[in-house]
């Protein structure tokens, strides 16, 4: 057993150490840092989708919608909510202690907001604050959970294709609404967000300004590692078993006393919150969020990452996502084979689609998961063989 | 103002009814299969009064309990709309409404044809093809390349036939290579595999087309120039035809390419019905959709039927693309919206139901046309077009997942 | 076992495909610098590759050797990179030293130090971006690049153009700019089609202080933020709205319907045009649609009911074709009411294929009218049409072509690749291009606030010409369609429906 544990923990531990130390080597290459941050973002989405679909069998196409809910919540919070020391008297507001929390009214560009109107009458020395970024992110996560709960309850009865269609419908409606309500969301232009640390941040005596990539790198990395640890714990706990039993046979699981409603909804809430958190952090990091992230193409990217990595393995899905994000970025150069030059801007997604189909057809468990499996089972087969030699007369049961 | 109050009433009491009534029925050990839908409709139409009566008397719920309050709900909504926007064209101008409805019906026939392919695939293979939009796109692309680039002068109808054959071959080939393993036990969890692999196909076809033909929009000239015609005469004619338009009652104008496309769709529909109900293969297909095992026992090879069904489904999408490439400009991503619309239609009509797909197509066509025509804010009317259908989809899935004509689950 | 093999093979295939990136990363050989005696068949770039892992690192060897030579005459002095003699004692710096050298060079001399001068370019090359526009710009960039390199390149070195796909997405725009500036180390960036991308790209350019010339992003805010790095040769959205309003007034329309797309281009353009029309006492109603809308029949009936004298189409790409043709089929096409079609109509082959009933369409063309084409415009148009097989030149192709030439000229004028020097050169430039003589009169010496103009004029090419053209015969190529407005360029009077 020790040997197996070593085989799986050694590469994983090494991987984590590399990820933690990477900024030291990459400090002069912000572009690679950027891809790494985006890759972790996709890894969070792919692995949480793998938990939802691979473990729980809930084939949702609405994962990006929860991500967008997280991102837009914190974006709108940063855009419309302000704190002052003096009531404005014009904006919708509530007073909390010595502060007044108020909402700005949506206006078209160039017109004054209610704050601009109120400023004229405010006494000198009035302070106006933006509420802290993390409040918005937490709010986004919370709202992601609320929507996850609602959708989870609504889709209880729906399975497979019905569920897929319902979630596509949900995310399309959300996309169209975000696109059309320009006064609030800025429409296709995208909602601009302040950076994660607007005033910069000091860690261990080192100062990083708002544009530095190192703080967001670690924020995203810790979010990624944290959610991986949490999801891994969840999947290997009792709950994981329940999730899988629901996936395999709902009726049987219910008959055996698994509270299907509770676990299905719980699964939706948890994965939605993780997606919303990833979305909120990513949106602050990029600085802009557009409704186009809700296009089915983007969702299919996440699904493909999870599938190619291995849908039934959280780690597999995450590694798949990181590899594919890097591959898609670096495969943009033209490739010349003999007399033909292949323009990879056009063709990379073709190869990607082909890879997805072939993986599904010939490597049902994805490309990464079998390797992990192989590593963890390196000793198991020998062990089983040894046991079989010891007790040859036992009837061997089918291996699962 | 009235409109928002009415909407609040409809949604609020609808939700209350949909949640409460099934519980009441379940507690009294009555049939709950229609309870959610009937509860929602009664609640939306009559609010607490109707719901209280329903919960107290718990009558046996049949289709009347859905249709009558459903109609009442629509009436409430329309009255509130008319009261709020008395100057809206949809309220004040009946010719306008009629034009929108006719336009919606004409387009709806073609939508229905495409959805028919999707529902055929579902009824035989039990899967939803997410690559359906790409077959639609390919159908149009083939006609364009056949008539404009490869064989200039080829009659468009011949190109439509060739494009149908090509899309059929692509569909059948894909089925043999990627879907057949599902039935031979080579694939775990076939339902989810099918969703993903058709998704991969959609990705592959769309981007291959983009890489090969580029993004310049393409279009085929209209297939037929109609002869000039006026019945009964130039003045006050009931039907007036010019090369480019068909005009009914002087008021309703339908562009002729759309009429052509709708007529092609109707002919194909007839052919399909003949094929499914009069030929041996068609009967075999229907037999497989009703009972796989029993059909296999009588000597029908279900694998062949699967291939045939997927090919036919792709072909129907290809054909609707081929008949619409003279109406819309064609680009490689043209199938995305059409596919989304097909999903709405088959869910509305009931997955696997052929008449459902046709009726669903007409309904979605009319709803989209009225939505674009009647939403008061001109900024939002067209911007929300993709959402109208999706709203239907979500509502149907919540209230009656079997759709209008679906088999009970 | 077989499955694992398959997985490993596929992953290896992916990794192999990523080799180009690995090659570009510097390989770390020895840890410290050391002395080296030149032997037969050595040359500097070979040594640089061997010991520093980078062919282009040879100036570092020369630099450190020359520094040592100043103190210790036993070292050789390298004056010509291509000439080293057997037996010379040279100093091979450690990779850290070499990097430090390049870092300081980058600060003092600009970023590039290599065989080529790298210029970045942005264009949408895949959906949801406007691929049509992106591909036209790409062709124009390629023509400009060939010409620049045939003319001897920039600062005596060939120009390398690194074209990045922005997909029309603002977040991709950020990523693309990061890549161009920090990874590819370009000295300047040109191009882009979508305003939404331009708005985020300008922030990255500002962050790193790298000059950028926008080719086809019309949003006023791009120049209005007064960033020293941002230049634009595309017209201003608000000014175009003004032109449109003037033309509509001249045509005598009293009621206008604006059909726009709800994008960063369409919505502000519709609002600005409505404002300008109201100033002139003309009524305007706006309808907006999602990009990619196919069926306009519902909206067209509503437009019909508005009974307009003129329809202004602010949809782009195939969406505009769909609308124009369907409007014509429904009886409110350009032959029934005046219609200002979208400028994509300038691609006449595509236009007539998609809008066969589009005769009498007006459209606005940015750039010099054909009567005023200079030699350069004519030469470019010929090359462009030959390369793309099109029958006309779109304004964004001209702008893309000029933006690259402008950047190259500015670098030559600056005499270095230092960003500050390039910006200064751009501020003082007077460049004869296919769009006319390009200058940026409102700059750091003459800021808009002092010149008494709005901030949007900052680093903006002010004299962009725009004319209105009308197709007057079905199937007419755009090069033969007459200019109808402004009157001083008029080649034929407009035909009103």
B92 at the C interface (CB within 8 A)? no
- Residue among A157, A160, A178, A359 with most chain B CBs within 10 A, to mutate: A160
d(CA A165, CA A62): 9
The answer to whether the CB atoms of B334 and C329 lie below 8 A apart is no
- Is the pLDDT score of A1 beyond 50? no
Kindly report which listed range (A95-109, A118-132, C206-220, C262-276) carries the lowest average pLDDT score. Answer: A95-109
Across the range A272-283, mean pLDDT stands at 93
Contact yes or no for B190/B182 (Cβ under 8 A): yes
Smallest Cα distance from C303 to chain B, Å: 10
> Subunits with at least 3 CB pairs below 8 A relative to chain B?
A, C
* Chain C residues in contact with A355 (beta carbon < 8 A): 10
A380 at the C interface (CB within 8 A)? no
The answer to whether the CB atoms of B387 and A59 lie below 8 A apart is no
Smallest Cα distance from C267 to chain A, Å: 9
Average pLDDT, whole number, for chain A? 79
The answer to whether the CB atoms of B217 and C301 lie below 8 A apart is no
| DSSP state, residue A151 | H
**Could you give the residue range(s) of every CATH 3.10.350.10 domain in chain C?**
26-103
In CATH terms, the fold of domain B94-215+269-399 is ABC transporter involved in vitamin B12 uptake, BtuC (1.10.3470)
* Chain B residues in contact with C354 (beta carbon < 8 A): 217-219, 329
In CATH terms, the fold of domain C117-235+379-457 is Rossmann fold (3.40.50)
The answer to whether the CB atoms of B199 and A166 lie below 8 A apart is no
Coil vs helix vs strand at C484: strand
Say what the pLDDT of residue C428 is. 86
- Is the pLDDT score of A292 beyond 60? yes
* Chain C residues in contact with A67 (beta carbon < 8 A): none
Residue ranges in chain B modelled with pLDDT below 70: 234, 236, 406-409
Say what the pLDDT of residue B254 is. 84
A347 at the C interface (CB within 8 A)? no
In CATH terms, the fold of domain C238-373+466-489 is Rossmann fold (3.40.50)
Cβ within 8 Å of A, C 251-280:
262-264, 267-268, 271
Q: C121-145 burial, b for 16+ CB within 10 Å, e for fewer?
A: bbbbbbbbbbbbbbbbbbbbbbbbb
Contacts of A398 (CB under 8 A, 6+ apart): none
* Chain A residues in contact with B347 (beta carbon < 8 A): 162, 165
* Chain A residues in contact with C7 (beta carbon < 8 A): 363, 366-368, 370-371
Say what the pLDDT of residue C136 is. 87
A161 at the B interface (CB within 8 A)? yes
For residue B203, the chain A residue with the least C-alpha distance is A353
**What are the pLDDT digits (tens) for A226-248?**
999 999 888 888 877 777 777 77
Across the range A254-265, mean pLDDT stands at 78
The answer to whether the CB atoms of B380 and A303 lie below 8 A apart is no
Which value does ipTM take for this structure?
0.86
The answer to whether the CB atoms of B394 and A361 lie below 8 A apart is no
**Could you give the residue range(s) of every CATH 3.40.50.2300 domain in chain C?**
117-235+379-457, 238-373+466-489
> Which one of A158, A173, A356 has the shortest CB-CB distance to B397?
A158
> Which one of A28, A297, A333 has the shortest CB-CB distance to C20?
A333
> Which one of B255, B336, B382 has the shortest CB-CB distance to C329?
B255
Contact yes or no for A61/A299 (Cβ under 8 A): yes
> Which one of C285, C301, C318 has the shortest CB-CB distance to B331?
C318
d(CA A229, CA A235): 10
**Could you give the residue range(s) of every CATH 1.10.3470 domain in chain A?**
2-79+132-379
B89 at the C interface (CB within 8 A)? yes
Say what the pLDDT of residue A390 is. 59
Per-residue pLDDT tens, chain C, 497 aa: give them: 455 556 666 565 555 554 444 333 333 334 567 777 777 777 777 777 677 766 566 777 777 777 777 777 777 777 666 667 777 778 887 777 776 666 555 444 444 456 788 899 999 887 677 777 888 899 999 999 988 888 888 888 888 888 888 888 887 888 888 888 888 889 999 999 888 888 888 888 888 889 999 998 888 888 888 888 899 998 888 888 888 898 999 988 889 999 998 777 788 888 889 999 998 889 999 888 887 788 888 888 888 888 899 999 998 888 899 999 999 888 888 888 999 998 888 888 888 888 888 889 999 888 777 777 888 888 888 888 888 887 778 888 888 999 999 999 998 888 888 888 888 888 888 888 888 888 888 888 888 888 888 888 888 888 777 888 899 888 888 878 888 888 888 888 888 87
Q: How confident is the model at residue A274 (pLDDT cuts 50, 70, 90)?
A: very high
* Chain A residues in contact with B202 (beta carbon < 8 A): 353
For residue A37, the chain C residue with the least C-alpha distance is C175
**What are the pLDDT digits (tens) for C125-157?**
876 777 778 888 999 999 999 888 888 888 888
Say what the pLDDT of residue A145 is. 93
A194 at the C interface (CB within 8 A)? no
The answer to whether the CB atoms of B178 and A343 lie below 8 A apart is no
* Chain A residues in contact with C164 (beta carbon < 8 A): 332
Architecture in CATH of C26-103:
Roll (3.10)
**Own/partner pairs, C243-246, CB within 8 angstroms, 24+ separation:** C243/C364, C243/C466, C244/C273, C244/C276, C244/C312, C244/C340, C244/C364, C245/C273, C245/C276, C245/C277, C245/C279, C245/C280, C245/C282
Cβ within 8 Å of C, A 243-302:
286-290, 292-293, 295, 297
Q: What is the largest CA-CA distance in chain B?
A: 72
* Chain B residues in contact with A165 (beta carbon < 8 A): 128, 343, 347, 393, 397
For residue C124, the chain A residue with the least C-alpha distance is A345
Cβ within 8 Å of B, A 336-395:
343, 346-347, 349-350, 352-354, 356-357, 360-361, 364
The answer to whether the CB atoms of A370 and C178 lie below 8 A apart is no
The answer to whether the CB atoms of A59 and B192 lie below 8 A apart is yes
What are residue A331's phi and psi, to 5 degrees? Answer: -85, 20
> Which one of B219, B253, B385 has the shortest CB-CB distance to C331?
B253
Print the SS3 string covering chain B.
CHHHHHHHHHHHHHHHHHHHHHHHHHHCCCCCCCHHHHHHHHHHHHHHHHHHHHHHHCCCCCCHHHHHHHHHHHHHHHHHHHHHCCCCHHHHCHHHHHHHHHHHHHHHHHHHHHHHHHHHHHHHHCCCCCCHHHHHHHHHHHHHHHHHHHCCCCCHHHHHHHHHHHHHHHHHHHHHHHHHHHHCCCCCCHHHHHHHHHHHHHHHHHHHHHHHHCCCCECCCCCCCCCCEEECCCCCCCEEECCCEEEECCCEEEEHHHHHHHHHHHHHHHHHHHHHHHCHHHHHHHHHHHCHHHHHHCCCCHHHHHHHHHHHHHHHHHHHHHHHCCCCCECCCCHHHHHHHHHHHHHHHCCCCHHHHHHHHHHHHHHHHHHHHHCCCHHHHHHCHHHHHHHHHHHHHHHCCCCCCCCCC
The answer to whether the CB atoms of C14 and A180 lie below 8 A apart is no
What are residue C209's phi and psi, to 5 degrees? Answer: 70, 30
A250 at the B interface (CB within 8 A)? no
For residue B333, the chain C residue with the least C-alpha distance is C127
> Subunits with at least 3 CB pairs below 8 A relative to chain A?
B, C
Q: B125-155 burial, b for 16+ CB within 10 Å, e for fewer?
A: bbbbbbbbbbbbbbbbbbbbbbbbeeeeeee
> Which one of A158, A164, A357 has the shortest CB-CB distance to B197?
A357
The answer to whether the CB atoms of A287 and C203 lie below 8 A apart is yes
Smallest Cα distance from A138 to chain C, Å: 23
C176 at the A interface (CB within 8 A)? no
Could you state, in order of their start, the residue ranges of all structural domains in chain B?
2-84, 94-215+269-399
What is the count of residue pairs from A and C with beta carbons less than 8 Å apart? 111
Q: What is the CATH number of domain A2-79+132-379?
A: 1.10.3470
């Amino acid at each position: 057993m020790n040997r197996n544990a070593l085989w799986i923990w050694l590469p994983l531990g090494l991987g984590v150490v590399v990820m933690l130390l990477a900024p030291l080597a990459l400090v002069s290459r912000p572009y690679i840092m950027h891809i790494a941050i985006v890759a972790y973002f996709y890894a969070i989405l792919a692995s949480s989708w793998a938990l939802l679909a691979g473990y729980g069998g809930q084939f949702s196409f609405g994962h990006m919608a929860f991500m967008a809910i997280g991102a837009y919540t914190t974006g709108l919070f940063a855009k419309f909510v302000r704190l002052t020391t003096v009531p404005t008297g014009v904006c919708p507001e509530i007073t909390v202690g010595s502060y007044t929390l108020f909402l700005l009214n949506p206006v078209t560009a160039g017109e004054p907001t209610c704050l601009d109107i109120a400023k004229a009458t405010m006494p000198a020395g009035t302070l106006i604050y933006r509420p802290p970024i993390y409040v918005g992110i937490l709010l986004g996560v919370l709202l992601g959970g609320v929507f996850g709960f609602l959708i989870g309850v609504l889709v209880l009865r729906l399975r497979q294709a019905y569920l897929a269609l319902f979630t596509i419908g949900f995310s399309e409606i959300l996309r169209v609404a975000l696109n059309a309500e320009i006064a609030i969301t800025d429409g296709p232009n995208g909602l601009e967000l302040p950076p994660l640390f607007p005033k910069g941040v000091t860690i261990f005596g080192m100062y990083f300004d708002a544009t530095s990539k190192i703080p967001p790198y670690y924020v995203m990395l810790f979010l990624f590692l944290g959610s991986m640890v949490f999801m891994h714990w969840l999947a290997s706990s009792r709950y994981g078993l329940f999730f899988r039993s629901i996936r395999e046979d709902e009726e049987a699981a219910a008959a055996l006393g698994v509270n299907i409603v509770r676990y299905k909804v719980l699964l939706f809430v948890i994965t939605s919150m993780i997606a919303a958190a990833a979305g909120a952090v990513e949106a602050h990091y990029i600085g802009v969020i557009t409704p186009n992230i809700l296009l089915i193409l983007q969702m299919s990217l996440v699904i493909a990452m999870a599938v190619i990595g291995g849908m039934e393995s959280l780690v597999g899905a995450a590694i798949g996502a990181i590899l594919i994000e890097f591959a898609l970025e670096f495969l943009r150069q033209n490739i010349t084979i003999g007399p033909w030059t292949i323009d990879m801007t056009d063709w990379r997604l073709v190869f990607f689609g082909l890879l997805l189909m072939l993986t599904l057809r010939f490597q049902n468990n994805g490309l990464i998961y079998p390797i992990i499996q192989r590593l963890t089972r390196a000793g198991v087969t020998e062990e089983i063989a040894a046991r079989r030699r010891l007790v040859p007369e036992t009837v061997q049961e089918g291996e699962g | 103002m009235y409109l928002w109050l009415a909407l609040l009433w409809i949604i609020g009491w609808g939700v209350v009814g949909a949640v409460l009534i099934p519980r009441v029925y379940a507690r009294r050990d009555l049939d709950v299969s229609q309870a959610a839908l009937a509860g929602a409709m009664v609640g939306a139409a009559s609010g607490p009064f109707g719901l209280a009566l329903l919960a107290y008397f718990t009558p046996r719920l049949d289709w009347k309990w859905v249709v009558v309050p459903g109609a009442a709900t629509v009436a409430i909504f329309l009255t509130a709309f008319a009261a709020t926007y008395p100057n809206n064209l949809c309220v004040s101008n009946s010719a306008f409404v009629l034009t929108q409805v006719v336009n919606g019906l004409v387009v709806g026939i073609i939508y229905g044809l495409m959805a028919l392919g999707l529902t055929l695939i579902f009824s035989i293979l039990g899967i939803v093809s997410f690559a359906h939009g790409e077959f639609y796109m390919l159908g149009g692309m083939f006609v364009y390349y056949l008539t404009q680039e490869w064989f200039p002068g080829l009659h468009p109808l011949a190109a439509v036939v060739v494009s149908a054959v090509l899309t059929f071959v692509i569909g059948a080939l894909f089925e043999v290579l990627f879907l057949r393993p599902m039935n031979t036990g080579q694939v775990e969890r076939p339902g989810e595999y099918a969703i993903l692999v058709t998704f991969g196909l959609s990705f592959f076809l769309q981007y291959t087309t983009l890489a090969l033909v580029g993004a310049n929009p393409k279009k085929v000239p209209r297939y037929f120039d109609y002869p000039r015609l006026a019945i009964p005469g130039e003045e006050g004619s009931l039907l007036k035809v010019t090369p480019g338009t068909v005009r009914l009652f002087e008021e309703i104008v339908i562009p002729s390419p759309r009429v052509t496309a709708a007529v092609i769709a109707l002919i194909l529909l007839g052919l399909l019905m003949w094929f499914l109900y009069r030929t041996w293969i068609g009967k075999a297909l229907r037999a497989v959709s009703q009972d796989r095992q029993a059909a296999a026992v009588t000597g029908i090879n279900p694998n062949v039927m699967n291939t045939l069904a997927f090919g036919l489904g792709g072909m129907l999408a290809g054909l609707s693309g081929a008949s619409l490439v003279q109406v819309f400009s064609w680009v490689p991503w043209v199938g995305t919206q059409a596919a989304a619309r097909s999903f709405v239609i088959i869910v509305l009509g009931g997955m696997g139901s052929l008449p459902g797909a046709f009726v669903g197509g007409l309904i979605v066509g009319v709803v989209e046309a009225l939505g674009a025509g009647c939403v008061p804010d001109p900024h939002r009317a067209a911007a929300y077009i993709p959402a109208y259908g999706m709203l239907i989809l979500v509502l149907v899935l919540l209230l009656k997942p079997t759709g209008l004509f679906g088999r009970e689950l | 076992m077989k499955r694992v093999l398959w997985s490993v093979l596929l992953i290896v295939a992916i990794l192999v495909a990523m080799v180009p990136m690995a090659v570009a990363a510097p390989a770390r050989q020895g840890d410290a610098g050391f002395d080296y005696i030149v032997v037969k068949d050595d040359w500097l770039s070979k040594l640089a590759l061997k010991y520093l892992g980078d062919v282009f690192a040879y100036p570092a060897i020369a630099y450190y050797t020359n520094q040592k030579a100043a103190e210790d005459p036993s070292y050789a002095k390298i004056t010509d990179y291509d000439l080293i003699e057997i037996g010379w004692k040279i100093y091979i710096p450690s990779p850290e030293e070499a990097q430090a050298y390049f870092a300081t060079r980058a600060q003092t001399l600009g970023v590039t130090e290599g065989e080529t001068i790298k210029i970045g370019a942005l264009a949408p090359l895949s959906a949801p971006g406007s691929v049509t526009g992106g591909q036209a710009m790409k062709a124009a960039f390629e023509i400009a690049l060939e010409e620049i390199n045939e003319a001897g390149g920039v600062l005596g070195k060939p120009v390398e153009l690194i074209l990045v796909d922005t997909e029309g997405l603002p977040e991709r725009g950020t990523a693309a700019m990061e890549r161009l500036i920090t990874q590819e180390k370009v000295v300047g960036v040109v191009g882009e089609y979508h305003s939404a991308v331009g708005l985020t790209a300008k922030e990255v350019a500002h962050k790193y202080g790298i000059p950028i010339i926008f080719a086809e992003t019309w949003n006023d805010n791009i120049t209005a933020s007064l960033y020293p790095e941002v230049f634009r040769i595309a017209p201003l959205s608000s000014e175009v709205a003004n032109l449109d309003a003037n033309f509509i007034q001249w045509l005598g329309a009293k009621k206008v319907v604006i059909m726009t797309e709800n994008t960063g281009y369409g919505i502000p353009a519709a609002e600005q045009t409505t404002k300008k029309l109201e100033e002139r006492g003309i009524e305007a109603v706006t309808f907006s649609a999602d990009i990619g809308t196919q069926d306009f029949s519902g909206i067209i009936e509503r437009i019909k009911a508005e009974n307009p004298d003129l329809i202004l189409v602010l949809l782009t790409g195939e969406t505009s074709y769909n609308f124009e043709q369907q409007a014509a089929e429904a009886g409110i096409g350009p032959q029934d009411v005046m219609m200002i079609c979208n400028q994509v109509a300038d691609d006449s082959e595509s236009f007539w294929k998609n809008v066969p009933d589009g005769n009498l369409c007006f459209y606005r063309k940015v750039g010099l009218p054909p009567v005023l084409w200079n030699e350069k415009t004519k030469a470019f148009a010929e090359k462009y049409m030959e390369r793309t097989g099109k029958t006309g030149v779109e304004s964004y192709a001209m702008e893309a072509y000029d933006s690259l030439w402008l950047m190259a000229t500015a670098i030559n004028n600056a005499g270095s690749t230092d960003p500050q020097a390039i910006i200064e050169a751009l501020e003082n430039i007077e460049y004869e291009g296919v769009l006319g003589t390009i200058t940026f009169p409102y700059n750091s010496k003459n800021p808009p606030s002092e010149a008494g103009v709005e901030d949007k004029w900052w680093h903006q090419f002010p004299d962009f010409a725009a004319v209105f053209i009308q197709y007057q015969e079905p199937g007419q190529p755009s090069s033969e369609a007459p200019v109808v407005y402004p009157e001083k360029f008029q080649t034929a009077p407009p035909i009103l429906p």
